[in-house]
Copies of this chain bind each other. A is one copy, B any other.
Amino acid sequence: MVTQAYEQEEEQKLTERQKDILDAALRLLVEDGDNLTMAAVARRARCSKESLYKWFGDRDGLLTATVRWQASKVRVVPVDQGKPDLLSLSESLESYARDWLKVISSDTSVALNRVAISHAGSGRDKLGEIVLQNGRFALAARLKPVLDAGKRAGLLVFEDAETAFRTFFGLVARDVQIRLLLGDWPGMTEAAIEEDAVRATKQFLALHGAGKGQQAK
């Protein structure tokens, strides 16, 4: 018997008060990085430390809840595709690229990835897994149907949707995320994002489009 694929799909019952607290924690995370202390969260959210411990168990629990909370807010709308033509397919791809670039270059994403990566070093909690599931893997899950539809419609040529997705991912993200995480600023303005989305889509179609019958394995 196979269990639920992604068990963090379980809805977390949160009162409004608790959501406020997680928002406060999120803001602190963005501002101060992983320095966030229980006292600081309590102060910012104007609650007592006792309540923090009652609701979230311990510091790791609070961190995990915060990451989940943010993740639950990011659900990007899936682009619907009926029977795609080349134009609508291209627009879908651009749209995904744009959304993804916007996500990874956002303050919250950078902050959350940073704390998840720190924790991945001393593997005591599953922050990395959560971030990955709601980021890169969620994107793949939403994008693959689009790719498959494109393939069925004879617009795309590839053997494996996973590999094709990773190519697209690489063309979109390039060095942006690692540079942001390391504190560099690769100039991700609105305009640059738009440009990148267009470029990545063109490149992907050049590699996997059915136009000229060319494609690199």
Q: Is the CB of B182 within 8 A of A128?
A: yes
Any B CB within 8 A of the CB of A216: yes
A200 to chain B, nearest CB (A): 8
- Decide: A182 near B113, CB < 8 A? Known: A167-B171, A175-B170, A199-B217: yes
For this chain, the copies found in one complex come to: 2
Q: Are B128 and A183 in contact (CB under 8 A)?
A: yes
Chain A contact patch, size range: 35 or more
Seen from chain A, the residues whose Cβ lies within 8 Å of a Cβ on chain B are 32-35, 111, 113-118, 120-123, 128-129, 131-132, 136, 166-167, 169-175, 177-179, 181-184, 199, 202-203, 205-207, 212, 214-217
Q: A169–B177 contact, CB under 8 A?
A: no
A191 to chain B: closest CB distance in Å?
A: 15
A-B residue pairs in contact (CB < 8 Å), sample of 30: A32-B121, A33-B118, A33-B121, A35-B122, A113-B117, A114-B120, A117-B118, A117-B182, A120-B181, A120-B183, A131-B182, A132-B182, A132-B183, A136-B175, A136-B179, A166-B174, A166-B175, A167-B171, A169-B175, A170-B175, A173-B175, A178-B178, A199-B217, A202-B216, A203-B207, A205-B216, A206-B206, A207-B207, A212-B212, A212-B214
